[in-house]
Amino acid sequence: MFDTLSDRLSAAFKNLRGKGKLTDADIDATTREIRIALLEADVALPVVKEFIAAVRERASGAEVRGGLNPAQQVIKIVNEELVNILGGETRELRMAKRPPTVIMLAGLQGAGKTTLAGKLAKWLKETRHQTPMLVAADLQRPNAVTQLQVVGERAGVAVFAPEPGNGVGDPVDVARKAMDEARAKQHSVVIVDTAGRLGVDEELMKQAADIRDAVSPDEILFVVDAMIGQDAVTTAQAFLDGVGFDGVVLSKLDGDARGGAALSIAQVTGRQVMFASNGEKLEDFDVFHPDRMASRILGMGDVMSLIEQAERTFDAEEAAKTAAKLQKKGGKDFTLDDFLAQMQSVRKMGPLTKIFGMLPGASQFKDQLENFDEREIDRIEAVIHSMTPAERADPNIINGSRRARIAKGSGTEVATVSGLVERFFEARKMMNAMATGKGLPGMPGMPGMGMPGGGARKAKQQAQQKKSKRGSGNPAKRAKQGKPAAPQPGELPAAFGGAGQTDGDFELPDDLKKMLGGGQ
């Protein structure tokens, strides 16, 4: 969703590279580009004006103008201001002191409230260990009750639906009865799915207010379709004035809209975005972290979210066993069965393009990510499943005749089988290097990360030798030497717009390039 905005901001920051000092002209040009980027992203005009004023004021400070690397400091300012307009700190759900906690969902028709109710229930059940119950209080939209029952079954949570819906039943009475049901069945959370409309009207407001008064919710969450642009802000403000809400949930954050709603709604309404839905599956739901979203927009990735997803997906005991295999005998104990298991675990985290997109600097190989075919993983699985246990345990025995048999069994070409075996050996070599602290092939080592013998000392000596060859850290002297200035301590990495290296210096490992390129 934020690709266009990220590209425009990156272009604005590039113009600052190599400058030893910021001038008024530099600040004007940069803030002008940022302003255009935000307006093109459909951010509300009052938010843009406030944002640009804050960036301009801070960028004009003497500590920035006198800095050696103003580009990094401007990026830091923009990042902090983005966090501010996105809501500042992460806001958690307020839980009732005495269960059940009541959460009421509201919003326009088509915003995705019913599906989001299931996502929220599943998230509460699996990450907060709650016992949620969904309440079908949308009795007007055709088959809304049935849809909620299906979603509840998929999420593995109870659904209270005493009325058939389709225009039959009183939603306020259903909400009131749901509270008695929750107390009787000892549900710790009640999630009330309410009806939406094609637009904000008096009937919607009155019904929502009546349900609110009947159940006294601990949280009222306004569900907003992130793809409707500035209209999302108008709708949210109207609902805030008419009924009131405590937090915002952005749905369809994986769409191709320009993202203005996410950047505007918290600042305009004064209510924070609490959750984000970014896919069709019930697992595609997470807490909204303003700082992480700002990092994504600026192309810095979202490593923390990636780590949290991995912790939820990977089995710690199995991961330890795999690491042990990779550290021994040069990783030769790591088999194709292990490779397949690891690949399947990664897939559980979501689409690979989404996972790689969370890595810092991913915007620099965005085209490769977009062109990556997820079906390539299915073909890899088919090829491995067509092998015998002996072949999966020792791929070295896979000769020409075996490759022909495997290709026929998996419905692929012999070249595909050969490519997979070759990439497996390369991947195993790469993972062994990482597990033993030697770094990726073709990339610097990682001193102190379990390198055998004097490895850490040797790596430190190599780093000092390289440092001595870099030349002066003074930008003026550096320019005479024809080399870019080295990043200073505490600065942002060059891949994020710093002056330490150019875009062309950022390289993916060869085996990752091959995977993204489908083995080409």
Question: Which amino acids are annotated as binding site for GTP, given as ranges?
Answer: 107-114, 193-197, 251-254
SS3 category, 441: coil
Contacts of 314 (CB under 8 A, 6+ apart): 345
Q: 231: Cβ–Cβ under 8 A, 6 or more apart, which residues? A: none
Distance CA 151, CA 453 (A): 56
User: Do 101 and 220 meet the contact criterion of CB atoms below 8 Å apart?
Assistant: no
By the 8 A CB rule, do 391 and 398 touch?
yes
Sequence-distant (≥ 6) Cβ neighbours of residue 495 within 8 angstroms: 299, 360, 361, 364, 501, 506
Question: What CA–CA distance (Å, rounded) separates 423 from 384?
Answer: 13
Q: Are strands 158-160 and 273-277 parallel, antiparallel or unpaired?
A: unpaired
What single-letter amino acid sits at 50? E
Q: CB neighbours (10 Å) of residue 421? A: 19
Please answer whether residues 228 and 261 qualify as being in contact, where contact means their C-beta atoms are separated by less than 8 angstroms.
yes
Measured in degrees and rounded to the nearest 5, phi and psi for residue 287 equal -65, 140
Annotated binding site: 107-114, 193-197, 251-254
273-277 and 285-287: which strand pairing? antiparallel
User: How far apart are the C-alpha atoms of 402 and 408, rounded to whole Å?
Assistant: 10
Q: Is 130 exposed, middle or buried (0-12, 13-18, 19+ CB in 10 A)?
A: buried
- What DSSP state is assigned to residue 168? B
